[in-house]
Structure 1
Amino acid sequence: MDYKTIKEDGIVEEIIKKSRFICHLKRITSEEEGRNYIAAIKKEHYKANHSCSAMIIGERGEIKRSSDDGEPSGTAGVPMLTVLEKQELTNVVAVVTRYFGGIKLGAGGLIRAYAGSVAHATKEIGLVHVKEQAGLELTLTYPQYQVFANFLEQENLTEQNTQFLEQVTTELYVDPEVLDVIQERLIDFYQGKITMTKIDPQIIEVPLELSDKEDLSR
């Protein structure tokens, strides 16, 4: 498991030339879940002029869908989808609801507004890298544990679920590709006198910084 998505579900609203653009973002795991969410937004905002949508599903973004929902073809759904693609996001659906404010935006203006609404919302809500980390349980004597902090600092790691009984048990979680290296370094650090066992992996979410260098709405 290794993909990027939004940090959490959220709603971000902005006014563009007197029209209200409300971007709804939701984490999903299936196309059906995405379609149900789109239907729910349309029902909630039944008085709105449009509720355009874009979704990407699958760890490799295998499923992509978009809808202009009555806006001129290619001015809403695809630009919204393009923003999600540029940020390499998946397992997410975006719905932008528009309440017309009386000023026509033209095709270019609509594209910028819908794409910009999604780009603005993802920046406000935040992104995460969802990935699986391999687990390692260590059993240490108390003298071994007294120097364990040195190893953690050296490898930039954090222990978890530490228990102090007759001996100390603690857990480390690392990216799978470095697990063997960490095991070798533990063996070296304790001169071979270390008891460790592979345990179930955990899924973690690492916050991502969205670059300001690129205008994702274009």
Structure 2
Amino acid sequence: MRQAYRVLYEGAVGEITEKKSRFIATFRPVKSEVEAMAFIDELRKKYWDASHNCYAWVIGKNGEEKRSSDDGEPSQTAGKPMLEVLEREKIVNICVVVTRYFGGTLLGTGGLVRAYSSAVKEGLESCTILTVEPAKKISITTDYNGIGKIHYILLQQEMKILESEYTDKVGLIVLVPDEKIVSLEAEITEVTSGKAAILELEDVYYSMLEKEAILFNI
């Protein structure tokens, strides 16, 4: 059974200061290790004068790929706690770079863990995170007598119509969450006395943003 997951849709920047050290967390959506490493290199060039550019990324709807780096900070005080924040939030297709400008005061291992974790949490507050759910595209073909009833059902169940075609009949392409497929098909069949033709086209993942359906490849 396919499961919903959370994905970074739009990145952002967050910043905290700890004992005069600046920690700047920059986020970007990524779909591959190549994209993640290109983003990390971009931030290293932008913040070339920083003390450290630590990173963490998680890729794949089940978080199959992940990596982190302390970039010169004491072992497991930066990259690992950053990665743990992403894993706790269950966000994938995400890369974060936390840039540190040293303020002159040592924070200790516990202080570094808290600072890097806090920077990631701060930045996430400004990011756009979407819950992505499994669905199917289905085709519905009906006559003009049945379209009003079908439209009413789709409206009541908040189904998204992706395409419409009006010729001698009416054709709709509708986005339907997996868990509603069986009940929707049964209801349409009933109200149209079996005259509506329903065809399941393809499995997709989707999320809604400001009433718009966004489709995902994974």
Match of 2:97 among 95, 98, 104: 95
Match of 2:135 among 129, 133, 145: 133
Aligned-pair CA distance for 1:91: 2.0
Aligned-pair CA distance for 1:177: 4.0
Match of 2:172 among 160, 170, 176: 170
Structure 2 equivalent of residue 190 of structure 1: 192
Unaligned runs of 5+ in 1: 208-218
Aligned-pair CA distance for 1:119: 1.3
Q: Any idea what SS the aligned residue of 1:60 has? A: coil
Structure 2 equivalent of residue 53 of structure 1: 55
AA aligned to 2:31 is: T
Cα deviation, 1:104-135, whole Å, max 9, x if unaligned, reads: 32222211111111112122112112344211
Aligned-pair CA distance for 1:6: 1.1
Matches within 5 A, 1:1-218: 2-206=4-208
Aligned-pair CA distance for 1:202: 4.0
Matched residue count? 207
Percent sequence identity over matched residues? Answer: 33
Take 1:165 and 1:113, find their aligned partners in 2: how far apart are those partners? 62
Structure 1 equivalent of residue 215 of structure 2: none
Of Structure 1 and Structure 2, the greater strand share is in: 2
AA aligned to 1:119 is: K
Aligned-pair CA distance for 1:51: 0.6
Take 1:206 and 1:81, find their aligned partners in 2: how far apart are those partners? 27
Aligned-pair CA distance for 1:48: 0.2
Take 1:191 and 1:17, find their aligned partners in 2: how far apart are those partners? 72
Take 1:160 and 1:146, find their aligned partners in 2: how far apart are those partners? 17
CA RMSD of aligned residues (A): 2.1
Aligned-pair CA distance for 1:158: 2.9
Take 1:123 and 1:164, find their aligned partners in 2: how far apart are those partners? 44
Take 2:204 and 2:67, find their aligned partners in 1: how far apart are those partners? 30
Cα deviation, 1:12-58, whole Å, max 9, x if unaligned, reads: 23333332211111222222332232122112211000111111122
TM-score, normalized by length of structure 2? 0.84
Relative distance call for 1:203 and 1:122 in structure 2 (3 A) is same
Are 1:173 and 1:201, in contact at CA under 8 Å, matched by a contact in 2?
A: no
AA aligned to 2:206 is: I
Cα deviation, 1:76-102, whole Å, max 9, x if unaligned, reads: 111100000001122221110011223
Q: Any idea what SS the aligned residue of 1:159 has? A: strand
Cα deviation, 1:158-216, whole Å, max 9, x if unaligned, reads: 32312333222212111234323321221122221212222234442346xxxxxxxxx
Q: Any idea what SS the aligned residue of 2:126 has? A: helix
Take 1:192 and 1:164, find their aligned partners in 2: how far apart are those partners? 20
